[in-house]
């Protein structure tokens, strides 16, 4: 049984039965049968169902957003945005999957036609994180279903109700019931699920769990995508427009209480603007409203995971002990019930501190002063992770030169954190393997078939 806590109050508000092994057997068999039929359906039929899903999701926007807020604490205004973002992703796949899947004549040799087509994998497993329960799920189920797969979806144990809701809306939109099934439970349920002969695994979560999954499915040669954590850096050059830079970084660091895989967690400031930056930055951070996530003007809600409070405390204390100090007083908030953490901005940090090396996943950032672009590049690359990186400068060529040297999946000049379905989303090093979104994020759900046909 999963006890679902509202992170804003710390109280259990619902209990949900975990999926048991005999149900998993049943669900897997049904997913296999349903997929065999589904892969023969027309593109138009799939398209109509997913388009209807998008419309139904938007018509239930406030209900779904409220559920996100109550399950994982994201401020309601940001949760509404997540529903819009989910619809945008679904629409992108609707607009692009058909062209991608059409078989193509790629050549002709000695009168033999050479044609490429694609087959779906079969039953794919989607194991997901809790920080964007709808948006992350949609990067998997939309392309998976449109390309002819069935999906066994294991949402995070923090957000099972959002996972159940997603299925409800898909079924209401006309999706045959066994094509998308929600599995409820913690990591042990997910691990049991992976013992079934599934045809693909799409995982979003931490590097530590990613390693366990890689170990569970080793030697099976099934397609996998790992979207893992980050320790993303930003570098502010001395010629940056400080007002715009700080606007962007405030969101990059503190949006969703810093619980975004691509949150900026390390900030390198050129020494020539260091003091001026901190002066403006201080007042912007101090003005961020922390509190009830249902209120319109709340920017920082509670943490989604209670246990992360002690990890953030450890990181903060480790840094303070090693000589860092705080720009303004942050840390666990005692003023409210629930899992609140006040923004913590640590100065005088260095790479011997956990705050500059290990993923925090909270409203906390470490700042360092640098003397040159070369020093910034060296520090930015000094990480086990490689999800995103950004540079703020009015000299775009300089920004591009710096970013060309950075080992990250996505790089930004004068912005940070965000993503577009036009481009692949994926990490390097401990941040993952493979891509979601974009044409590459469609290709992950199909396998190529090469045809050699006589002339007709």
Enzyme catalytic residues: 227, 261
Query: 175: burial class by Cβ within 10 Å (0-12, 13-18, 19+)?
Result: buried
CA distance 198 to 434: 18
Nearer to ligand NAD, 78 or 393 (CB): 78
Binding residue (CB under 6 A) for ligand NAD from 228, 402, 416, 442: 228
- Return phi, psi of residue 282, to 5°: -55, -50
Contact 289, 300 (CB under 8 A): yes
- Three-state SS at 353: coil
- The verdict on 128 binding ligand NAD (CB under 6 A) reads yes
- The verdict on 359 binding ligand NAD (CB under 6 A) reads yes
Min separation Cβ 363 and ligand NAD, Å = 14
Nearer to ligand NAD, 127 or 365 (CB): 127
Nearer to ligand NAD, 87 or 198 (CB): 198
In whole angstroms, what separates CA 248 from the centre of its chain? 19
Nearer to ligand NAD, 82 or 359 (CB): 359
Binding residue (CB under 6 A) for ligand NAD from 6, 35, 126, 131: 131
Quick one: tokens of 58?
């938007």
Closest CA to 368 of 389, 385, 390, 353: 353
Judged by CB under 6 A, the stretch of 3-11, 16-24, 182-190, 283-291 that binds ligand NAD is 182-190
CA distance 132 to 144: 18
Binding residue (CB under 6 A) for ligand NAD from 127, 184, 285, 300: 127
Judged by CB under 6 A, the stretch of 15-23, 123-131, 275-283, 291-299 that binds ligand NAD is 123-131
Residues in the chain: 456
Min separation Cβ 174 and ligand NAD, Å = 27
* Greatest pairwise CA separation for the chain in angstroms: 78
Residues whose CB falls within 8 Å of the CB of residue 402, separated by 6 or more in sequence, listed in order: 235, 373, 376, 377, 391, 393
Residues whose CB falls within 8 Å of the CB of residue 22, separated by 6 or more in sequence, listed in order: none
- The verdict on 339 binding ligand NAD (CB under 6 A) reads no
- The verdict on 338 binding ligand NAD (CB under 6 A) reads no
Min separation Cβ 34 and ligand NAD, Å = 23
- The verdict on 442 binding ligand NAD (CB under 6 A) reads no
Contact 155, 137 (CB under 8 A): yes
- The verdict on 69 binding ligand NAD (CB under 6 A) reads no
- The verdict on 233 binding ligand NAD (CB under 6 A) reads no
Query: 196: burial class by Cβ within 10 Å (0-12, 13-18, 19+)?
Result: middle
- The verdict on 248 binding ligand NAD (CB under 6 A) reads no
| Binding characters for ligand NAD, 190-219, by CB under 6 A (x = yes) | xx------------xxx--x--xx------
- The verdict on 360 binding ligand NAD (CB under 6 A) reads no
- The verdict on 416 binding ligand NAD (CB under 6 A) reads no
The torsion defined by the Cα of 251, 257, 260 and 265, in degrees rounded to 10, comes to 70
DSSP β-bridge partners for residue 125: 152, 201
Min separation Cβ 191 and ligand NAD, Å = 4
- The verdict on 421 binding ligand NAD (CB under 6 A) reads no
Nearer to ligand NAD, 149 or 256 (CB): 256
Quick one: tokens of 314?
């450890």
Nearer to ligand NAD, 245 or 315 (CB): 315
From residue 140, alpha-carbon distances to 11, 194, 212 in Å are 31, 17, 20
Query: Binders of ligand NAD among 364-393, rule CB under 6 A?
Result: 387
- The verdict on 154 binding ligand NAD (CB under 6 A) reads yes
Query: Binders of ligand NAD among 302-331, rule CB under 6 A?
Result: 305
Closest CA to 184 of 207, 203, 158, 202: 158
Nearer to ligand NAD, 225 or 269 (CB): 225
- Interaction site with ligand NAD (CB under 6 A): 127-131, 136, 154, 156-157, 186-187, 190-191, 204-206, 209, 212-213, 227-230, 261, 305, 359, 361, 387, 427, 432
């Amino acid at each position: 049984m999963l006890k679902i806590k509202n992170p804003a109050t710390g109280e259990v508000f619902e209990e949900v039965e975990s999926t048991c092994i005999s149900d998993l057997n049943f669900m897997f068999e049904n997913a296999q049968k349903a997929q065999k039929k589904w892969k023969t359906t027309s593109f138009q039929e799939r398209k109509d169902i997913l388009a209807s899903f998008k419309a139904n999701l938007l018509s239930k926007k406030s209900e779904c957003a409220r559920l996100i807020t109550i399950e994982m604490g994201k401020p309601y205004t940001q949760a509404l945005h997540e529903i819009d973002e989910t619809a945008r992703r679904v629409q992108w796949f609707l607009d692009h999957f058909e062209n991608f899947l059409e078989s193509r004549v790629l050549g002709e040799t000695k009168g033999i036609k050479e044609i490429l087509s694609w087959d779906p994998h079969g039953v794919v497993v989607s194991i997901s994180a809790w920080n964007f329960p709808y948006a992350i799920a949609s990067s998997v189920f939309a392309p998976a279903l449109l390309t002819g797969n069935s999906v066994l979806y294991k949402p995070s144990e923090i957000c099972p109700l959002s996972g159940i809701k997603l299925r409800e809306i898909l079924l209401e939109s006309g999706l045959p019931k066994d094509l998308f099934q929600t599995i409820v439970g913690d990591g042990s349920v997910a691990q049991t699920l992976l013992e079934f002969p599934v045809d693909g695994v799409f995982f979003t979560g931490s590097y530590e769990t990613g390693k366990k999954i890689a170990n569970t499915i080793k030697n099976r040669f099934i397609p996998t995508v790992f979207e893992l954590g980050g320790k993303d850096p930003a570098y502010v050059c001395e010629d940056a427009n400080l007002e715009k830079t700080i606007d962007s970084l405030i969101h990059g660091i503190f949006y969703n209480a810093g619980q975004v895989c691509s949150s900026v967690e390390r900030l390198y400031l050129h020494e020539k603007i260091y003091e001026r930056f901190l002066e403006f930055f201080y007042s912007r951070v101090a003005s961020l409203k922390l509190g009830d996530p249902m209120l319109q003007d709340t920017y920082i809600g509670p943490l989604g995971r209670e246990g992360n409070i002690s990890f953030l405390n450890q990181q903060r204390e480790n840094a303070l002990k090693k000589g860092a100090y705080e720009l303004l007083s942050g840390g666990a908030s005692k003023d409210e019930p629930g899992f609140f953490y006040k923004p913590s901005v640590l100065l005088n940090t260095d790479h011997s501190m956990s705050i500059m090396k290990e993923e925090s996943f909270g409203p906390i950032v470490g700042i360092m002063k640098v003397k040159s672009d070369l020093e910034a590049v060296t520090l930015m690359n000094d990480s086990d992770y490689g999800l995103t990186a950004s540079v703020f400068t009015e000299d775009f060529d300089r920004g591009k030169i710096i970013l060309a040297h950075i080992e990250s999946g996505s790089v930004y000049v004068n912005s940070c954190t965000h993503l577009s379905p036009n481009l692949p989303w994926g990490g390097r090093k401990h941040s993952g393997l493979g891509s979601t979104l974009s044409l590459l994020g469609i290709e992950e759900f199909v396998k190529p078939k090469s045809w050699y046909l006589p002339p007709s």
